[in-house]
Amino acid sequence: MSTVPASCEGYRMPMDSRVILRRHGKSFYFAGQFLAGKQLIDCSRLYAFCRYLDDIADCSAFPGQARRVLEKVYEDISNGSSREPIVNDFLHLADSHAIDKRIVLELIHGLKGDLEPVEIRNWSQLLLYCYRAAGTVGLLMSRILGADDPEARFHAIDLGVAMQLTNIARDVAEDARAGRRYIPAELLPGLPPGKIADPDKAARPLLQRAVEAILATADCYYASGEAGLAYLPARPRLAILIASRVYRAIGSELRRNHCVTWKGRAFITGRRKALIASRTIVHYVVNNRYRACGGGHEACLHRAFAGMPEAHCKGIPA
């Protein structure tokens, strides 16, 4: 594997992480162009590591082997050293930004769950999964972008949860074909993954309402995520706002198509991303709410994963 110099720590890392981001995370790469150079490099390194973990879980034909690889990464992160270059690079990144390694251990825990058939039972189980799959990534990003206030990290979790809920709504059919049903059973009673991928006429309205419920919940978490942007420095604040608006537009596209998930995956064109970015920049310039911290985070948004690293637990009944 070819190597390129890492940002400025004096060691080398695998394959230019910006290439990985550009190839696999198009929406994030687009928003990342509004970051300063060092921040973009470090965010790309984080994305490359998370993509590496995702690929272990998603691309292996042998779940047992994938589980063993993830368990080895878990052990390496816990011990603080690894022979795997991309894991070792993440450990350098975590040390340079004082990242709590328990966060990535929860991410790995969530990915291990994806190796088995997934049939989420209820909203609490879904939101806990979203915390592990993407709220953790929001926490990791918040450290890299310079958000040191604990309140900021609550909102960072929420933006990650919102994006994961959008992913779930977008990928309903694809996940169902892989034997995974992330939409809670209480929204789709008696509907197994096979009937979600290609629903019959009677099941379609039920599935459409369930997808709309997922998107409505995502909207609540997007609102909280954006409310915490004031904790970020100005340049990453704008970049994350653009990422939020571009990703949220996937949900708007689903709604425009009446949440019909079985006819193809919703996506946002490059031209529309550029339009969203330009409108977001104007909105950001004229709107002061992104420059002043709001009235505090709503702890109830974290009820389903209270007790997880850096979640907001204060005020939630035991």
Note the pLDDT tens digit of each residue in 30-78: 555 657 678 888 888 998 899 899 989 887 678 899 999 999 999 999 9
Q: What pLDDT is attached to residue 182?
A: 96
205/260 Cα distance (integer angstroms): 9
175/61 Cα distance (integer angstroms): 15
80/101 Cα distance (integer angstroms): 9
Whole-model pTM?
Answer: 0.89
Q: What pLDDT is attached to residue 62?
A: 86
Q: What pLDDT is attached to residue 22?
A: 46
Three-state secondary structure of the chain: CCEEECCCCCCEEECCHHHHHHHHCHHHHHHHCCCCHHHHHHHHHHHHHHHHHHHHHHHCCCHHHHHHHHHHHHHHHHHCCCCCHHHHHHHHHHHHCCCCHHHHHHHHHHHHHCCCCEECCCHHHHHHHHHHHHHHHHHHHHHHCCCCCHHHHHHHHHHHHHHHHHHHHHCHHHHHHCCEECCCCCCCCCCCHHHHHCCCCCCHHHHHHHHHHHHHHHHHHHHHHHHCHHHCCHHHHHHHHHHHHHHHHHHHHHHHCCCCCCCCCCCCCHHHHHHHHHHHHHHHHHCHHHCCCCCCCCHHHHHHHCCCCCCCCCCCCC
Q: What pLDDT is attached to residue 30?
A: 53
CB 184 within 8 A of CB 126: yes
Structure tokens that stand for 54 in this block: 């995702």
Q: What pLDDT is attached to residue 34?
A: 57
Residues of the chain with pLDDT under 70: 1-34, 36, 60, 294, 315, 318
Placement of tokens 């809670």 in the chain: 184
